[in-house]
C-alpha cells in the first residue's frame, strides 16, 4: 500500500538511498551523505511545524518502506511540486500515485488554484509521470521542460 507521510529524523538512512547517484542524475547536485540526510530530515520536521506551512516534504512509502519524497512548495508565486524515487522503485507507478495524492492535498485540502512542475529534458520518464498525474506541458524555461495543472479536483477529493 502506498502512503504519503511526514518525514522523521530516523528517515535519514532511507533518504541517502533515495538521493543516490542514479536518482539525482538530472538534479544538478551530488548524492546525499549522512550529514546532509540528517539535516534534510530535520528540515522536513521543522517545515511541518511552521505556521503557516510553506513546504510539504512528504515521504512516499510502500508497505512501510520509504521509496521517495514528494514536495509541495507554497512559498513561490505559483505553487510547485517535485518528487524523487529510489532507483529500484522506478517504473512501478509509485511516483505517479504519490504525485496524485499530493495533488489531492494541494487542490482539495489547501484549495490551491494551480500548480507548476518541471523536469530536465534528458529525463522524459519524469515528464510521463507529470502527464499521467494530469499536468500539461507548457514549454521550456531555463533549460527545463515545464508543466502546469489548474484545479480540477472535486470537493471532497481524498487528502493525504
Cell 508497505 found at: 63
Residue 93 Cα to chain centre, angstroms: 14
CATH superfamily, with its number, for domain 2-150: Gcn5-related N-acetyltransferase (GNAT) (3.40.630.30)
What is the structure's pLDDT at 156?
A: 45
CB 14 within 8 A of CB 72: no
Going residue by residue through the chain (160 aa), what tens digit of pLDDT does each one get? 899 999 999 999 999 999 999 999 999 899 999 999 999 999 999 999 999 999 999 999 999 999 999 999 998 788 999 999 999 999 999 999 999 999 999 999 999 999 999 999 999 999 999 999 999 999 999 999 999 998 764 444 444 4
Write out pLDDT tens, residues 77-118: 889 999 999 999 999 999 999 999 999 999 999 999 999 999
The domain limits of the chain are 2-150
pLDDT value at residue 151: 72
Report pLDDT for 155. Answer: 45
Alpha helix locations (H) across 19-138? 34-49, 94-103, 124-132
Identify the pLDDT of residue 150. 86
pLDDT at 1: 87
For position 76, what pLDDT does the model report? 79
Measure CA 58 to chain center. Answer: 7
Reading across the β-sheet that carries 65-73, which strands appear in turn?
2-6, 55-62, 65-73, 80-85, 114-119, 144-150, 136-141
What pLDDT score does 152 carry? 61
What whole-number distance in Å separates Cα of residue 112 and Cα of residue 90?
Answer: 28
Q: DSSP letter for 135, please.
A: -
Place of cell 502512503: 3
Question: Phi first, then psi: what are they for 11, rounded to 5°?
Answer: -90, 0
Amino acid at each position: 500500500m502506498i502512503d504519503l507521510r511526514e518525514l522523521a529524523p530516523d528517515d535519514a538512512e532511507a533518504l541517502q538511498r533515495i538521493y543516490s547517484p542514479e536518482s539525482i542524475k538530472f538534479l544538478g547536485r551530488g548524492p546525499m551523505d549522512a550529514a546532509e540526510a540528517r539535516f534534510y530530515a530535520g528540515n522536513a520536521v521543522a517545515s511541518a511545524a511552521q505556521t503557516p506551512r510553506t513546504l510539504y516534504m512528504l515521504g512516499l512509502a510502500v508497505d512501510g518502506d520509504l521509496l521517495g519524497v514528494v514536495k509541495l512548495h507554497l512559498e513561490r508565486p505559483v505553487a510547485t511540486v517535485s518528487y524523487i524515487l529510489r532507483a529500484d522503485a522506478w517504473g512501478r507507478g509509485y511516483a505517479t500515485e504519490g504525485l496524485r495524492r499530493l495533488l489531492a492535498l494541494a487542490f482539495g485540502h489547501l484549495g490551491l488554484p494551480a500548480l507548476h512542475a518541471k523536469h530536465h529534458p534528458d529525463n522524459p520518464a519524469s515528464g510521463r509521470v507529470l502527464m499521467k498525474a494530469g499536468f500539461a506541458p507548457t514549454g521550456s524555461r531555463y533549460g527545463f521542460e515545464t508543466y502546469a495543472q489548474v484545479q480540477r479536483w472535486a470537493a471532497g477529493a481524498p487528502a493525504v
